[in-house]
């Protein structure tokens, strides 16, 4: 008779003591329940939970103090917000959401403890053993529909106005630099080979290198903190004693990334001088051999086809007038719903087959303006919860899946959907579907969209007494 393996993370102040109370009263506990004592339910991070399922748990239970009774005041508030989001993510990755459960038990509630664990164990038993395999068992080609592209000109692209915006950017950048109002301008240029790439402009003369066209895909805000830290100095030169601010050319999506950085105080408003450019969309990548659009027709990037912001949300100078037509963008992909609609086992298989290709190059993380931890959890030498293995090595645990799911979780409520992570991935892993699913979740649960204002996501802020849970 199958007995589900349940791991219960119990906070030492309330629920662990509650378990003791249940034991003293000789109330029965499920046979395969193993308790892990933690200082606070807030300590139970997504990596710990994913590792628990990796190691063969059929169900994971997190029990904390009742809201308002946390020994650390608000630790359980964090859990209350984070765990439902994590549940959504894990369900999206193919694990039945009922296998992860969060509840509150106080020190004296032995009966409540007993009831919760027994009910949970029973519901997990009915689900059967967890299907959270380490490796995919087949290459699964799920056909996913997403918005069909239209040729550029049918969307009203005006090549003339691109040239005008380019000229305006050059003029303004040159002016800012000659007046020393900025120490440098981060923008776009063409390489000698003709590729579009980030440019760092330090002199008014060099501003003529700046360009603006439908290839300007990069989210340049990833360089902001770095540039501010070194005082905007040119390579080989000494930093200024009183450095001026950093100028930066941003598209509407990029400007939202700046709002997130401001909200989290990674940068201060006066340290950045924002040249916001209105945008009709960025071209999808060209074939390396042909230097031509893959389908023969110019194609918009996926993110642009569902974009709802054509004008930057924050700027010091706006380049370009109002953009028409405004798309009624939903910021969501049909593919996200299509994956959600798959049965759990197929969803699991889909994601495993994607993560199998991951070579842990970390380009997705490095290119993300919101991934700004000085040392990433996934690269620490002493990380107990995840290792450096890539997707398809002959090793015991699927670390690549943990990396991607964990990173997506860390970005919930912080990702602004520039999809650069997906563009740079050399292995074509559809990372955006994870991020967009969680953005949807945060919108529905908290009414919050990242980057519209310099206000942090409710997931990371402490619960106020007024927020109902």
Partner 1 sequence: MISSSSGLNELYSVSQENLADWLDRIQSSAKLIAHQEVGGILLYQPVSDSRQIAWTEARPTLSSKDAFFPPTEQLFTIQREGNNLTIVESEPVGKQVLFGIRPCDAQGIKALDALYLETDPADNYYQRRREATTIIGMACREMAPSCFCTSVGGAPDDSRFMDLMLYRGDDHYFLAVITDKGASLLSSFPLKSDLLEAESAAEQIKSYIPSRLPIEIPNQEDWPASFASPYWDEMSERCISCRICAYVCPTCRCFDVRDQLYPSENGTQVFERIRCWDSCTGTAYRRIAGGHNPRPEKGQRLRNRFFCKYYYYPAQYGPVACTGCGRCIDACPVGVDITEALSYVAQRGSLSDLDRSGA
Could you tell me the two tokens for 121? 């164990």
Phi and psi torsions of 404, nearest 5°: -70, -40
Q: Compare residues 367 and 405 and give the one whose CB is closer to partner 1.
A: 367
Q: Which stretch binds partner 1 (CB under 8 A): 81-89, 118-126, 172-180, 283-291?
A: 283-291
Q: Which stretch binds partner 1 (CB under 8 A): 116-124, 240-248, 256-264, 424-432?
A: 424-432
Please identify which residue in 195, 229, 297, 334 interacts with partner 1, judged by CB under 8 A.
195
Q: Which residues contact 175 (CB under 8 A, 6 or more apart)?
A: 204
Please identify which residue in 163, 167, 373, 395 interacts with partner 1, judged by CB under 8 A.
395
Residue with the two structure tokens 């990242």? 450
Q: Residues 77 to 136: which contact partner 1 by CB under 8 A?
A: none
Give 403-466 as a DSSP string. Answer: HHHHHHHHTTTT-----HHHHH-TT---THHHHHHHHHHHHHHH---TTSSS---TTTSPPPTT
Phi-psi region of 430 (alpha: psi -120 to 50; beta: other; left: phi over 0): beta
Q: Give the integer Cα–Cα distance in Å for 67 and 305.
A: 42
DSSP 144: -
Residue 165 CB, nearest approach to partner 1 (Å): 21
Residue 53 CB, nearest approach to partner 1 (Å): 12
49 neighbors 100 (Cβ within 8 angstroms):
yes
Q: Which residues contact 469 (CB under 8 A, 6 or more apart)?
A: 67, 77, 80, 81, 463
Q: Compare residues 16 and 200 and give the one whose CB is closer to partner 1.
A: 200
Residue 17 CB, nearest approach to partner 1 (Å): 29
Q: Compare residues 22 and 425 and give the one whose CB is closer to partner 1.
A: 425
Please identify which residue in 291, 322, 324, 464 interacts with partner 1, judged by CB under 8 A.
291
218 binds partner 1 (CB under 8 A): yes
Would you tell me how many other CB atoms lie within 10 Å of the CB of residue 268?
A: 11
Q: Which residues contact 336 (CB under 8 A, 6 or more apart)?
A: 433, 436, 437, 440
Q: Compare residues 194 and 325 and give the one whose CB is closer to partner 1.
A: 194
Q: Compare residues 362 and 446 and give the one whose CB is closer to partner 1.
A: 362
Q: Give the integer Cα–Cα distance in Å for 177 and 242.
A: 15
Helix (H) or strand (E) holding 91: helix 75-92
Please identify which residue in 90, 100, 222, 253 interacts with partner 1, judged by CB under 8 A.
222
* Listed residue (17, 231, 4) closest to 98, CA to CA: 4
Give the count of residues interacting with partner 1 (CB under 8 A): 53
Helix (H) or strand (E) holding 302: helix 302-305
101 neighbors 61 (Cβ within 8 angstroms):
yes
Q: Which stretch binds partner 1 (CB under 8 A): 10-18, 148-156, 198-206, 267-275?
A: 198-206
Could you tell me the two tokens for 282? 């960025």
Q: Compare residues 103 and 422 and give the one whose CB is closer to partner 1.
A: 422
396 binds partner 1 (CB under 8 A): yes
Is 223 in a helix, a strand, or coil? Answer: helix
Residue 287 CB, nearest approach to partner 1 (Å): 9
Residue 277 CB, nearest approach to partner 1 (Å): 19
Q: Compare residues 127 and 427 and give the one whose CB is closer to partner 1.
A: 427
Residue 56 CB, nearest approach to partner 1 (Å): 7
Q: Compare residues 2 and 289 and give the one whose CB is closer to partner 1.
A: 289
Q: Give the integer Cα–Cα distance in Å for 247 and 236.
A: 20
Please identify which residue in 37, 39, 56, 108 interacts with partner 1, judged by CB under 8 A.
56
Strand order in the sheet with 245-250: 196-201, 182-190, 245-250, 272-277, 317-319
Three-class secondary structure assignment of 238-289: CCCCCCCEEEEEECHHHHHHHHHHHHCCCCCHHHEEEEEECCCCCECCECCC
Q: Compare residues 236 and 468 and give the one whose CB is closer to partner 1.
A: 236
Binding mask 323-362 for partner 1 (x = CB under 8 A): ------------------------------xx--x-xxxx
Binding mask 153-192 for partner 1 (x = CB under 8 A): --------------------------------------xx
1 binds partner 1 (CB under 8 A): no
93 neighbors 352 (Cβ within 8 angstroms):
no
296 binds partner 1 (CB under 8 A): no
Q: Which stretch binds partner 1 (CB under 8 A): 8-16, 29-37, 170-178, 384-392?
A: 384-392
Residue 410 CB, nearest approach to partner 1 (Å): 17
Helix (H) or strand (E) holding 199: strand 196-201
197 binds partner 1 (CB under 8 A): yes
68 binds partner 1 (CB under 8 A): no
Binding-site ranges for partner 1 (CB under 8 A): 55-56, 139, 191-193, 195-200, 218, 222-223, 235-236, 288-289, 291, 353-354, 357, 359-363, 365-367, 375, 379, 381, 387-397, 399, 420, 423-424, 426-429
């Amino acid at each position: 008779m199958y007995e589900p393996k349940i791991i219960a993370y119990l906070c030492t102040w309330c629920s662990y003591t509650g378990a003791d109370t249940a034991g003293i009263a000789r109330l029965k506990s499920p046979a395969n329940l193993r308790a892990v004592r933690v200082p606070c339910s807030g300590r139970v991070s997504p990596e710990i939970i994913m590792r628990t399922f990796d190691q063969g748990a059929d169900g994971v239970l997190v029990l904390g103090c009742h809201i308002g009774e946390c020994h650390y005041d608000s630790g359980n508030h964090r859990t209350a917000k984070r765990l439902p989001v994590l549940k959504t993510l894990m369900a999206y990755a193919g694990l039945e959401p009922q296998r992860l459960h969060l509840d509150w038990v106080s020190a004296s509630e032995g009966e409540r403890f007993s009831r919760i664990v027994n009910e949970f164990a029973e519901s997990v038993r009915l689900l059967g053993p967890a299907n959270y395999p380490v490796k995919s068992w087949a290459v699964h080609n799920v056909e996913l529909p997403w918005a069909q592209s239209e040729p550029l000109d049918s969307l009203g692209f005006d090549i003339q106005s691109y040239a005008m915006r380019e000229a305006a950017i050059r003029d303004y950048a040159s002016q800012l630099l000659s007046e020393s109002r900025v120490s440098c301008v981060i923008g776009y240029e063409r390489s000698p080979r003709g590729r579009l790439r980030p440019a760092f402009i330090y002199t008014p003369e060099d501003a003529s290198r700046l360009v603006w066209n439908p290839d300007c895909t990069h989210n340049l805000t990833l360089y902001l903190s770095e540039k501010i830290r070194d005082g905007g100095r040119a390579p080989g030169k000494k930093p200024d004693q009183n450095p001026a601010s950093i100028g930066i050319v941003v598209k509407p999506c990029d400007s939202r990334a700046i709002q997130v950085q401001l909200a989290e105080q990674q940068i201060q408003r006066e340290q950045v001088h924002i040249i916001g450019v209105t945008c009709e969309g960025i071209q999808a990548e060209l074939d390396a051999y042909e230097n031509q659009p893959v389908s023969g027709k110019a194609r918009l990037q996926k993110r642009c086809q569902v974009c709802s912001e054509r004008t930057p949300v924050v700027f010091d100078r706006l380049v370009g007038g109002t953009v028409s037509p405004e798309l009624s963008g939903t910021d969501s992909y049909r593919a996200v719903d299509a994956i959600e609609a798959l049965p759990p086992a197929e969803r699991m298989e889909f994601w495993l087959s994607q993560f199998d290709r991951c070579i842990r190059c970390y380009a997705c993380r490095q290119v993300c303006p919101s991934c700004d931890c000085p040392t990433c959890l996934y690269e620490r030498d002493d990380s107990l919860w995840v290792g450096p293995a890539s997707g398809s090595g002959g090793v015991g645990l699927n670390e690549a899946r943990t990396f991607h799911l964990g990173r997506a979780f860390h970005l919930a409520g912080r990702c602004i959907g520039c999809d650069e992570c997906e563009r740079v991935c050399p292995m074509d892993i559809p990372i955006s579907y994870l991020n967009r699913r969680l953005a949807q979740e945060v919108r529905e649960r908290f009414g919050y969209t990242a980057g519209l204002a310099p206000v942090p996501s409710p997931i990371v802020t402490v619960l106020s007494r007024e927020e109902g849970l």
